[in-house]
Amino acid sequence: MTETPMTVIDVLLVEDDPGDALMTQEAFEHHKIRNTLHVVKDGVEALAFLRREGEFADAPRPGLILLDLNLPRKDGREVLAEVKADADLRHIPVVVLTTSDAEEDILRSYSLHANAYVTKPVDFDRFIEVVRQIDDFFVTVVKLPR
């Protein structure tokens, strides 16, 4: 039986909390996740990255977006709405990865066509495991458009 080559994708993390961004980077390193993680700190930067504008003119098209909801300048709900309304971007899966477990945030995210909603665990080891599971699911299990 031949092994299929591991798919490597670019992942865009939209996270304003430096500690959470660092934990996500550490989760990628800890689990030897081969995907490339790009980090932007607010919704304005996220959309510039996705649209390849300004300093992000050479940015790769991510295969997955990990999106916090509570962001400065343009919040995650606005980013999600704009991504899913854009014909060039809407096919990119968006996982809302946030501290909020409020039912209204969950419902609103899904109504804006989030592909998944995950509440960030506060425990570091659990957080690392959740990031690994997201990666496993969206890179190994799910078939994504290229």
Per-residue pLDDT, 8? 76
Q: Please give the tally of structural domains in the chain.
A: 1
Asked if residue 142 belongs to a domain, the reply is no
Q: Within a domain: residue 145?
A: no
pLDDT of 145 over the 70 cut:
no
Cα 4 to Cα 9: distance, rounded to the nearest angstrom: 15
Please state which of the ranges 6-10, 84-88, 101-105, 122-126 shows the lowest mean pLDDT.
6-10
Give domain status of residue 5, yes or no.
no
Whether 126 is in a domain gets the answer: yes
Residue 3 inside a domain? The answer is no
Residue-number span of the structural domain to which 110 is assigned: 10-137
The CATH number linked to 129 is: 3.40.50.2300
Q: Which among 101, 110, 38 is positioned nearest to 70, based on CA atoms?
A: 101
